[in-house]
Amino acid sequence: MRWTPGGLSSDVEDRRGQSGGGLGGGGLGIVGFIILLVISLVTGRNYIGAYFSSGGGAPQQQQSGPRTVSPQEDRSAQLASFVLGDAQDTWTQILAKEGVRYPRARLVLFRDYTQSGCGAAQSSTGPFYCPADQKVYLDLGFWDQLKQFGASGEFAQAYVIAHEIGHHVQNVLGIERKVRGMQQQNPQARNQLSVAMELQADCFAGVWAHSTTDRQVTDQADIKGGLQAAAAVGDDRMQKMARGYVTPDSFTHGSSEQRMSWFNRGFTTGQVSACNTFSGGS
């Protein structure tokens, strides 16, 4: 990829140096604090004040501790920031042609654990997009896992971020809301609809990749890395590695072949209209 490292953009929220679990008091913790707050409101008695006056401690905000960042991690963070900005600039232009305003998503970088608008974000869950707060959550340690799955290189990382931004595009276009409603109405189709959502995000990532080749940000070798990344995180490959066998009915993201196919479709056409994964039994 052709890009110049240059720090983190204003669309990146860096939580890698944070420690603790947020608002809390002494040994009370956030849950205990909320319980005391509710009881105080219901009874009219100030149990919170009584707790703190008895030596229980005072609320404390989450603190940022010293952080050690390797040059490699620093470069990965700056690459993530670049891809985020480039993908969002691209989608701003694409959707503007359709008369749709694109609100920019934010990227949250964290280590091990943080809170999202969709609940806990943990490194073990991998990167994800939360429609509730319109943020992408990423522990950069995922790149090490991606290498273990057989996908390495900067564009493999770029593919993952572009895929999550694809989910943001679905949210902007109202697709995410409609699909969630369909899943509630027809629980038996939940996995099938989830696969269609994920494959469309792959296709949207391909649409962005198409624009990068036009601008000579990437070349064919980079795109090969993106296809390898798509294959690496296919449900069939993940299940085979985890338990030695595959159960297609339980797929939620699509097979390696499907993920590569839809990414390539977006890449070769560069058209959003080519990414309808919900029709024709796809």
Nearest to 207 by CA among 253, 258, 268, 256: 268
In this prediction, residue 232 has a pLDDT band, given cuts at 50, 70 and 90, of: confident
Mean pLDDT over the full length of the chain? 84
Mean pLDDT of 108-137: 95
Can you give the pLDDT at residue 281?
45
Q: What is the per-residue pLDDT across 59-95, written as a single tens digit (0 to 9) for each?
A: 333 444 455 778 889 999 999 999 999 999 999 999 9
For residue 58, pLDDT over 60 is answered with: no
Mean pLDDT of 47-57: 44
Can you give the pLDDT at residue 64?
44
Can you give the pLDDT at residue 146?
85
For residue 166, pLDDT over 90 is answered with: yes
Q: Which uninterrupted H or E stretch holds 47?
A: helix 47-51
85 or 239: whose pLDDT is higher? Answer: 85
Question: Helix, strand or coil for residue 145?
Answer: helix
pTM above 0.85, yes or no: no
Cβ-contact 155, 222 below 8 angstroms: yes
In this prediction, residue 43 has a pLDDT band, given cuts at 50, 70 and 90, of: very low
For residue 23, pLDDT over 90 is answered with: no
For residue 278, pLDDT over 80 is answered with: yes
DSSP tag of 132:
T
For residue 114, pLDDT over 70 is answered with: yes
For residue 276, pLDDT over 50 is answered with: yes
For residue 44, pLDDT over 50 is answered with: no
Can you give the pLDDT at residue 104?
98
225 or 48: whose pLDDT is higher? Answer: 225
Find the range with the poorest average confidence among 14-28, 223-237, 242-256: 14-28
Can you give the pLDDT at residue 226?
85
Work out the number of other CB atoms within 10 angstroms of the CB of residue 272: 19
Can you give the pLDDT at residue 280?
56
Can you give the pLDDT at residue 124?
87
Enumerate the β-bridge partners of residue 116: 119
Can you give the pLDDT at residue 125?
86
Query: Distance between CA 179 and CA 173 in Å, rounded?
Result: 12
Query: Distance between CA 49 and CA 58 in Å, rounded?
Result: 9
Q: Which two tokens stand for residue 8?
A: 């983190």
Residue % of the chain over a pLDDT of 90: 61
Work out the number of other CB atoms within 10 angstroms of the CB of residue 249: 6
Query: Distance between CA 108 and CA 200 in Å, rounded?
Result: 23
For residue 40, pLDDT over 60 is answered with: no
Left (φ > 0), alpha (ψ -120 to 50) or beta: where does 99 sit?
left
Query: Distance between CA 47 and CA 14 in Å, rounded?
Result: 36
Helices (H) and strands (E) in the chain, counts: 10, 10
